[in-house]
Amino acid sequence: MSSHEPEVIVPGHIPPIAMTELDDAQAAKLATIAHHVRGILTALGLDLKDPNLAETDLRVAKMYIEMFGGLAEGAEPKVTTFPNEEGYSHMVMEKQIPFYSMCAHHLVPFYGHAHIAYIPRERILGLSKFARILEFYAKRPQLQERLTEQVVTYLEEKLQPLGAMVVIEARHLCVEMRGVKKPGALTVTSALRGIFHQKQVREEFLDLLRRS
Ligand SMILES: [Zn+2]
């Protein structure tokens, strides 16, 4: 691996891997992915001596390890909850949280925004944690439906709130670049728990969502 290659730092909470600090297992994983990327390029009839392709195998392997960082051991965010000392019993919402993920069916990106809300019981969550939980589950081959469920389940298990709700709006490049080719189409998923089954509570969620 050449040392002059610029390290691309992608903003995120899971730190990019420092390639100098790879342990044997990580180095083996990197080499395996790179090997298979070379196989794909060769099968496509590309000339690996093309300077633009010379290090593509390793570049893609590094990128995959980073983009799929949610699968790594210890990647689960350390989420501390706090006692709800004020007895707050209304809705807490974090909206328009951006995320990027990879479609498990096609291995191309889907990306958009999540809106996450819960109504606390005895524990509350630091506000920055919504984004970290979302990112942890997004950084793996994923389905939007499953991502939505995983985030709401996490909140339910960690906080045991009165209820929780997650809405995700995303664009899927597998829909836009191939197949039916519908540029700009937005896929919306939602998942809810507890008190959000009540229409009135869901309406409050939607009302907060509409406010800018
Ligand atoms: Zn897809």
Domain ranges of the chain: 1-67, 81-210
* pLDDT in the model for residue 178: 86
pLDDT digits (tens, 9 = 90+) for 96-138: 999 999 999 999 999 999 999 999 999 999 989 999 999 999 9
Contact 148, 165 (CB under 8 A): no
Please, which residues have CB within 8 angstroms of residue 44's CB and are 6 or more apart in sequence?
none
How would residue 6 be classed by pLDDT, with cut points 50, 70 and 90?
very low
pLDDT digits (tens, 9 = 90+) for 70-107: 999 889 998 889 999 989 999 999 999 999 999 999 99
CA 22 to chain centre: 23
Given the candidates 3.30.450.90, 3.30.450.20, 3.30.1130.10, 3.40.50.720, the CATH classification of the domain at 81-210 is: 3.30.1130.10
In angstroms, what is the span from residue 91 Cα to ligand 1's centroid?
Answer: 33
In angstroms, what is the span from residue 105 Cα to ligand 1's centroid?
Answer: 5
In angstroms, what is the span from residue 189 Cα to ligand 1's centroid?
Answer: 15
pLDDT at 13 over 50: no
pLDDT digits (tens, 9 = 90+) for 177-204: 987 778 888 999 999 999 999 999 999 9
pLDDT digits (tens, 9 = 90+) for 146-167: 999 999 999 999 999 999 999 9
Contact 77, 34 (CB under 8 A): no
- Give the full edge-to-edge strand order of the sheet including 187-194: 141-142, 92-103, 109-119, 163-172, 187-194
In angstroms, what is the span from residue 207 Cα to ligand 1's centroid?
Answer: 31
In angstroms, what is the span from residue 140 Cα to ligand 1's centroid?
Answer: 13
How would residue 7 be classed by pLDDT, with cut points 50, 70 and 90?
very low
In angstroms, what is the span from residue 168 Cα to ligand 1's centroid?
Answer: 16
In angstroms, what is the span from residue 180 Cα to ligand 1's centroid?
Answer: 12
In angstroms, what is the span from residue 138 Cα to ligand 1's centroid?
Answer: 14
Confidence (pTM): 0.86
Q: CA–CA distance from 48 to each of 56, 57, 59, 81, 166 (Å)?
A: 9, 9, 14, 51, 45
In angstroms, what is the span from residue 108 Cα to ligand 1's centroid?
Answer: 7
pLDDT digits (tens, 9 = 90+) for 43-74: 999 999 999 999 999 999 999 999 999 999 88
In angstroms, what is the span from residue 143 Cα to ligand 1's centroid?
Answer: 8
In angstroms, what is the span from residue 110 Cα to ligand 1's centroid?
Answer: 8
In angstroms, what is the span from residue 28 Cα to ligand 1's centroid?
Answer: 28
Q: Domain 1-67 belongs to what topology?
A: GTP Cyclohydrolase I; Chain A, domain 1 (1.10.286)
* pLDDT in the model for residue 122: 95
pLDDT at 14 over 90: no
In angstroms, what is the span from residue 69 Cα to ligand 1's centroid?
Answer: 19
* pLDDT in the model for residue 212: 74
